[in-house]
Amino acid sequence: MAVDRSWKRGHAMAYGGEHMEMPPVENWVTDWDWLDDQWGENAIEIWNSVREQCPVATTERYGRAFMPVTMEAVAAVANDTEHFSSIWVNVGRPDAPRRPAPPITSDPPEHHGHRRLLLPAFSPKNVAPLEEDLRQFCRKLVADLDGADSADAAAQFSQHIPVHGICKLTGLPEEDADLFRDWIHRNFQFGPRDNAVRVAVATEMKEYVDRLLNDRLANPQDDMLTMIANAEIEGEPVDWDLKVGYINLLIIAGIDTTWSAIGSGLWHFAQHPDQVERLVAADDDDLLWNTATEEVLRYYAPVTMARKVVGETEVGGCPVHPGDQMLLTFPAANHDPAAFENPDVFDMDRLNNRHVAFGLGIHR
């Protein structure tokens, strides 16, 4: 998805009906801001510059928040559930709406119950039968572009694939695909800077999912939605808001991260025809397809998470205190030269590629 950058430096953000001018970042080590134009345009350069000076950057723009940029520091936070929590984290405007979306917004031991409930639906046994269906779906998307003078590979291809897959896996109605894409687009492209948009999306989704789950209670089907509507953990019914949160997570995170990865890969290869030629010449089972796919995920990692500090500790030698927040930039960790040789080079043949594109720790 192309990011709308029509808003200018010094962007205005509304807090409680008032607008607070956010000046452009001058020092990314002591005053970072993931909403600054420079972040979207030069993220790798920013992470590299910060990493050369220290493993952890800080900011006071949205309360006291930190941004680890090394693999070691990111992993230390992601794997530490004693000092860092995933509950009610918001590295952004403090008045943004917050709703549970487990298991991402949960900590142990509750996290384990949510994960055990949802993971079976995404097991290799359940996913494997979809492979041929998705392959045919992708071929149809390409065929639909035949004869066109030009095409938007993101809007007309990559943004359709995960919606189709999630609907097949869960029972979400595919006729509402445009609605799902609209929610994701508004939530991520406009929501961080416009609280009214984020509130509207949250309200619309809540009403939609309420209707969907109530329908499954009245008219059960053999699908994941019916399982969630009747979900229990250790014999106790799951709270309704948590059930709604499960579906919200599947729609928002499950679709957005996948189409971002696919779109990034298409964007990359469109600029490197020599690499495309190598892939086209390779057999379908050639190792090159696997290494190229993993390199897309490493180089253009689609996932960033956050944690809230709940216990006194330190990260990369930097003391952090309860109430502080951490932005876990897994993409930055994937460009750490201590973890990868020539990390800013897209290497289709990279074999030692233990990237963290989809995170680390309990939420991976």
HSE-up (13 A, CA, CB side) for residue 17: 0
Domain residue ranges in the chain? 12-363
What distances in angstroms separate CA 290 from CA 228, 282, 340, one per listed residue? 34, 11, 18
Q: How confident is the model at residue 1 (pLDDT cuts 50, 70, 90)?
A: very low
Rounded Cα–Cα distance for residues 165 and 254 (Å): 10
Match 């993220």 to its residue by tokens: 43
Separation CA 104–CA 328 (nearest Å): 13
Residue 12 has a pLDDT of 37
Residue 66 identity (one-letter amino acid): F
Structure confidence by residue, pLDDT tens digits, 291-345: 999 999 999 999 999 999 999 999 999 999 999 999 999 999 999 999 999 999 9
Please tell me the distance from the alpha carbon of residue 39 to that of residue 35, in angstroms, as a whole number.
Answer: 7
Per DSSP, what are the bridge partners of residue 269? none
Residue 5 has pLDDT above 60, yes or no: no
The whole model's pTM is what? 0.91
| Per-residue confidence (pLDDT) for residue 93, from 0 to 100 | 77
Average pLDDT for 256-272: 96
pLDDT band for position 350 (50/70/90)? very high
HEC string of 231-279 equals CEECCEECCHHHHHHHHHHHHHHHHHHHHHHHHHHHHHHHCCHHHHHHH
pLDDT band of residue 21 (cuts 50, 70, 90) is low
Q: Mean pLDDT across the stretch 160-187?
A: 97
- Domain covering 12-363, topology: Cytochrome p450 (1.10.630)
| pLDDT for 137 beyond 70 | yes
Spatial distance between the Cα atoms of 9 and 21, rounded to a whole number of angstroms: 10
Q: What is the mean pLDDT of residues 224-250?
A: 97
Concatenated DSSP letters of 322-338: TT-EEEE-HHHHTT-TT
Flag whether pLDDT at 46 surpasses 80: yes
What's at 275, amino acid-wise?
Q
